[in-house]
Amino acid sequence: MNTPLFEEIGYGVTCIDAQYVSWGMACFYLLESAGEYAVIETGTNHSVGGLLACLAQRDIQPEQIRFIIPTHVHLDHAGGAGAMMALFPRAQLVIHPRGARHMIDPQQLVAASQAVYGEQLFASLYGDVMPIEAQRVVAADDGYTLCFGQRTLLLRHTEGHARHHFCVWDEHSHGWFTGDMFGICYPWFRFPEGDYLLPSTTPTQFDPQAYLRSLELLHSYAPRRIYLTHYGMIEYSASKNSALAQQVQAYRDVALQSCADDGELEARLSALALQSIRAFTPSTDAQQLSDWLQFDIPLNAQGLAHWRSTQTA
């Protein structure tokens, strides 16, 4: 498999691998217009080198970077923001209002992640998470627009995966940068039958009804393409939106079923996901599919378990 660190994918958009876990797990995007640039998503502290390599190859100067735009503050999307902001003196960080304080002072965010992963694995996954000066942080309300060069981006708040999530509409490419709101479609989920999308219901703010409303919002713009953080650009279709919505509803139903413990919930979710993907691509080996699902299913189950606890408390 060809595994480029960065690749121009049209409409002035470059996809850069975030070097998170392994190639193809997470990416971020460099957008160009009239010699000015914005970065959507940041990956982690370990992702900065890939961006610098891309800029150096194209002779792009630090002063040309105008905006750093994480879709939300989960650290595979925003962990590298502080390091990038330190490198680009003219840049502003644009973030959801609920996430702004975590970018200014990331200690709580770091502590919560270290509690999940442990300090050693946290360091391996994310590296240092640097604070950002408050005066350089823009808290973007729903409908906020920003311009660089001759390009305008529109930010729409999209709850469901997290309450501090927005998606970025790019009229120039008729595309959405969707963070985690249009699911996950790793390169190995691109089958001859089409692109298989897996919902992302992690970690503690999953809200199925909000998720479905957000999918309706994305569809209402009649997009032609979706820029996923996990991973890369896919062509949009109403059928993909519908299939993702059906999975979200199925996840909700599984979570509300009586389970002896969270282990049983994870097992049921794993069986549901495997059934769904095997129905989509029946010719692919079942064990291979299980291996591809093993990273996300436990995390999705944690998110579902937490949401279920809020419904039964």
pLDDT in tens, 142-156: 999 999 999 999 999
Hey, what amino acid is at 42? T
Residue 199, pLDDT score = 96
Do residues 43 and 73 lie in contact, with contact meaning Cβ atoms separated by under 8 Å? no
Residue 182, pLDDT score = 98
Task: Write phi, then psi, for 112 (nearest 5 degrees).
Answer: -65, -40
Q: What percent of the chain has pLDDT over 70?
A: 99
The model's confidence at residue 313, banded by pLDDT at 50, 70 and 90, is low
Residue 76 has pLDDT above 70, yes or no: yes
Which has the higher per-residue pLDDT, 54 or 203? 54
DSSP β-bridge partners for residue 27: 17
Q: Pull the structure tokens for residue 180.
A: 């985690």
Residue 285, pLDDT score = 86
Q: Which of 1-10, 11-20, 128-137 has the lowest mean pLDDT?
A: 1-10
Is 160 exposed, middle or buried (CB count within 10 Å of its CB: 0-12, 13-18, 19+)?
A: buried
Q: What is the pLDDT of residues 229-239, one digit of tens each?
A: 999 999 999 99
List of domains in the chain: 1-127+136-157 (3.60.15.10), 179-313 (no CATH)
Q: How far is CA 158 from the centre of its chain?
A: 12
Mean pLDDT score of the chain = 94
The model's confidence at residue 261, banded by pLDDT at 50, 70 and 90, is confident
Task: Collect all residues with Cβ–Cβ distance below 8 Å to 260 and sequence separation of at least 6.
Answer: none
Residue 79 has pLDDT above 70, yes or no: yes
Q: What is the pLDDT of residues 88-131, one digit of tens each?
A: 999 999 999 999 999 999 999 899 888 878 899 999 999 999 99
Residue among 273, 208, 272, 195 at smallest CA distance from 234: 195
pTM of the model: 0.95
The model's confidence at residue 262, banded by pLDDT at 50, 70 and 90, is confident
The model's confidence at residue 44, banded by pLDDT at 50, 70 and 90, is very high
